[in-house]
Amino acid sequence: MWRNALRSLNMAAIVTLMGVLFILVTWVSGRRYARWDLSRQQLSTLSGQTRQVLDGLQEPLRLTLFFEPGHRLLPLVKDLAQEYERLSPRISVVEVDPQQDMARAQQLVQELAIDAPNVMIVQSGARHKRLSEADLAEFDYAAMTVEAEPRVKAFKGEAAVTSAILSVTQTAQPLVWCTTGHGEKAIDSTDPMGLADLKRHLEQQNMRVEAVSLLERQAVDPDVDLIILAGPTHRFVDQELALLDAFLARGGGVLVLLDPLTDSGLEPWLARAGITADNDIVVDPALLLPNVSPGNLLVMTYSEHPIVRKMKTLMTLFPLARSMRPSEAPVEAVTVKPLALTSPKAWGEMSPRNEEFKFDPAVDIPGPLAVAAAAERATAPAATDPAGLGQPGRVVAIGDSDFVVNAQLANIGNRDFLQGAVQWLAAQEQLIGIGPKTLESLKLSLTAGQLSRSRLLLLLGFPGLLLATGCAVWWRRRS
C-alpha cells in the first residue's frame, strides 16, 4: 500500500515540477527571446541607420498601432514595431483595436485629433506624428477593381517610422529652400511635371520645405540647411550666385538639378565647385528602353560615395540627362566624386538637334560618363581662415530634373537616389539607404491536366496511402 502511495506522490511531484518548469520557461521566454526574420525581403529587419537612431534615444517613446482587425498592413506594421521595441528599451508598443476597445479608441481620437483608424502614431511626450497607409506602403492600383483593394507593392514602414522618431525627438527640423523665379519646377504643383510628391517625401523625412526667390533676399536665413535648384530654365544673376557662395562658405548644401538644352548661368558657378556641366545629351545604347527615345537614360553603375553606396541593386531612370563630371583641373580644397555612371558604350551627344543620335568621335564626348557628381569643400584651419569661410560646404549636381517630378519619382530607384543626395547635403548620412522593401507574391501556374492530377492526389492519393499503411500494420500484427 505504501509503495503505491509513494509512486502516486512521486508522480504528483514530477507533474508539479514539470508544470512549474513550464511556467518558468514561458515567463522567461516572454521576456528574453530571439527573433529571426526569415522573409526573403527582410521586412522586419532594421537597418544600421535605424539602429543608430535608436541608440541615440534619450526619452521614452511610444508606438501606437490604431488598426482595424484584419487590415492588410497590420501584420507588417506589428512585426516592425515589435522589432523597434526589442532593440530599444525606451520604446513601447501599444495596440488599440477600434472595434473591441471603443473607449480607448475614442480617447485616442480626441487626444491626437485622429479622423480615422488604420494609422500608426509615433509619440514622445507632447509631440506626435501620424503615419497613414500611404506613408507606410506603396500600392499598385493597376489591378484594382470595384471588389478588390489595390495590392501592396512595397513596404516602406522603416523609413517612415525612423523619420517620425526623428521628427518627434529632435527639437529642430532641417529647412529646405526651393528656388523660384527662373522657370524651376513648382514645389507645390500636383501636375505630372510638378514636385508635390517630392515635397511630401521631404516632409516625411522630417524636413520643412519652402519656395523662395533669392532675388528677394539679402542673405540666406541661418536656419536653412539645403537649397534646391530644380530645373531652372533662365539665368541666375550675380546677386543670387553670391548668396549661394556665402551659403556654401558657412557649410550649407546645394542640390542642382540642371536639364540639357538650358541656359541657367549656373555652369560657371558649378565649375568653381569643381564640377563640369557639359552641354550635351547622354545616350547609352547598352541600356535602351523599348519603344522610347534613346534619350531616356537608365543608370545601373554607381560609385562608392555615401549617397549611392546602398544602390548597387537599383536602377535610376533619367528621362533626359546631361553629363556632370569632375573638372579636369581640380579646385583647391574641394573633393569631387562622380555618383551615377553610364556604360563605356555611352556618349555625350553634342548635336542634340539632330533627328538621330549617332556618335561622332570628332565632336561628341566618349563614355563612360557621369550624370551626377558630388563636391565637398574641406574645412580650412582657423589660422589660415580667420573669417570662418572654410566650412565643409557641399554641392550635388545632377544632369536632369525630370527624374524627380510627380510622374517619375516613384520609378525604380529615383526616390532612393534623391533621398541619398538630400540627406548627404543636409548632413544626415545616418539615414541614407533606408528605402522601401518590395513585396514579392509567388504564383504557381498549373495547366488543366496538372490541376486535375493534383486534385486526385489530394483526394485519393494521401487517404489511400494512410489506408494502405493501416492495413499493413493490421496484417503484421495479425500474423
Task: Determine the 3-state secondary structure of 94 from DSSP.
Answer: strand
Q: What is the DSSP string of 163-208?
A: HHHHHHH-S-PPEEEEE-SSSPPPTT--STTS-HHHHHHHHHTT-E
SS3 380: coil
What is the DSSP-derived secondary structure letter of residue 263? Answer: -
User: How many whole angstroms separate alpha carbon 430 and alpha carbon 197?
Assistant: 23
User: 110: part of which helix (H) or strand (E)?
Assistant: helix 102-112
Q: Distance between alpha carbon 77 and the CA centroid of its chain, in Å?
A: 16
d(CA 406, CA 403): 9
Asked if residues 425 and 284 have their Cβ atoms less than 8 Å apart, the reply is: no
Domain spans of the chain? Answer: 48-164, 174-429
DSSP state of 88: -
Q: Quick one: pLDDT at residue 202?
A: 86
Q: What does the pLDDT read at residue 434?
A: 62
CB atoms within 10 A of CB 23: 10
Which ranges of the chain have pLDDT less than 70? 1, 29-44, 140-149, 291, 353-355, 379-391, 429-448, 479
pLDDT tens digits along 240-267: 999 999 999 889 999 999 999 888 999 9
Whole-number pLDDT of residue 31: 61
CATH of range 174-429; options 3.30.70, 1.20.1440, 3.30.1740, 3.40.50: 3.40.50
- Name the CATH superfamily, with its identifier, for domain 48-164: Glutaredoxin (3.40.30.10)
Distance of CA 191 to the CA centre of its chain: 23
Residue type, 32: R
The pTM assigned to this predicted structure is: 0.68
